[in-house]
Amino acid sequence: MFVKNESKADRTHRVDRIMERLDSRYGSEPPIFLKSSNAWQLLFATILSAQCTDERVNKVTEKLFKKYVDLGAFAEADITELEEDIKSTGFYHNKAKNIKACAGDLLQRFSGVVPDTIEELTSLPGVGRKTGNLILGHIYNKNAIVVDTHVKRVSNRLGLADSQDPEETEYQLNETVPEQYWIRWNTHIISLGRSYCKSARPDCEGCFVNDLCPACGKEEILEATRAGAAGGKRRKTKSNM
């Protein structure tokens, strides 16, 4: 939900104050929750993170990247063996197929270099806008907003987006959040969503941005975002991330 009668200037001032508090709590340098040593490792880790916790992905990739040391190893991997290696991340049939095909594409089309445009990134198997924007922000330091379930939920509650569709939410945040905050918005809002602004039981009273949040204390708004999130989960299929 957008805040009614909030001018663009007032909204920008409110976002500035929200980001100031987020930076104070979580730091001004955006962390990377998925462990990796290079661009293609982060790309594959992000593909594995679809409907899986970062903690689980990090446990899997700790062994995975030692076994498959380069793109060639992934491109030539036995698909059944690769599926077994990543099975605990869920949806392993699709993920293994996409990672193997993605490795081949990177070698054949991009000379083994992860591309730096959203158009090229999303042309790779298994790579959607979420994954592509994460690579742009964390590898190439290009301003990009990454929308996952936490970012979508919390941004809607903060009145900076009004959609349950991740891509539409991204475009709305492009308009409502100043560009210099885009990279940090993802990691900060994920942290806020995990600690305070949870889907089922948000801690509005304890939240350090509650006075800047239009949903704070408004149960009907929180119920709407919960219902929207539940509907999104039901509609979600094994689509590209």
Is the pLDDT score of 239 beyond 50? no
Comparing CA positions, the residue from 139, 97, 91 lying closest to residue 118 is: 139
Is the pLDDT score of 32 beyond 90? no
158 SS3 class: coil
* Other CB atoms within 10 Å distance of the CB of residue 110: 16
Task: Please state whether the predicted TM-score (pTM) of the whole model is above 0.75.
Answer: yes
Backbone Cα Rg of the chain: 19
Q: Which of 85, 95, 105, 130 is catalytic?
A: 130
Residue 130 appears among annotated catalytic residues: yes
Comparing CA positions, the residue from 120, 149, 150 lying closest to residue 135 is: 120
pLDDT band at 24 (very low <50, low <70, confident <90, very high): very high
Comparing CA positions, the residue from 169, 175, 163, 144 lying closest to residue 224 is: 163
Q: What is the pLDDT of residues 35-80, one digit of tens each?
A: 999 999 999 999 999 989 999 999 999 999 999 999 999 999 999 9
Is the pLDDT score of 94 beyond 50? yes
pLDDT at res. 3: 84
DSSP string of 45-70?
HHHHTTTS-HHHHHHHHHHHHHHS-S
Q: What is the pLDDT of residues 111-140, one digit of tens each?
A: 999 999 999 999 999 999 999 999 999 999
Answer yes or no: are the C-beta atoms of 163 and 175 closer than 8 Å. no
Q: Rounded to whole angstroms, what are the CA distances from 54 to 47, 51, 89, 127, 230?
A: 11, 10, 10, 17, 21
Domain boundaries, the chain: 8-29+146-235, 39-138
CATH number of 8-29+146-235: 1.10.1670.10
Answer yes or no: are the C-beta atoms of 52 and 89 closer than 8 Å. yes
pLDDT at res. 217: 73
Architecture of the CATH domain 39-138: Orthogonal Bundle (1.10)
Q: What is the pLDDT of residues 203-231, one digit of tens each?
A: 999 999 999 999 987 765 555 555 555 55
Q: Which of 63, 148, 165, 198 is catalytic?
A: 148
CA dihedral 98, 104, 110, 116 (to 10 degrees): 20
Distance CA 31, CA 128 (A): 21
Comparing CA positions, the residue from 141, 109, 140, 146 lying closest to residue 125 is: 109
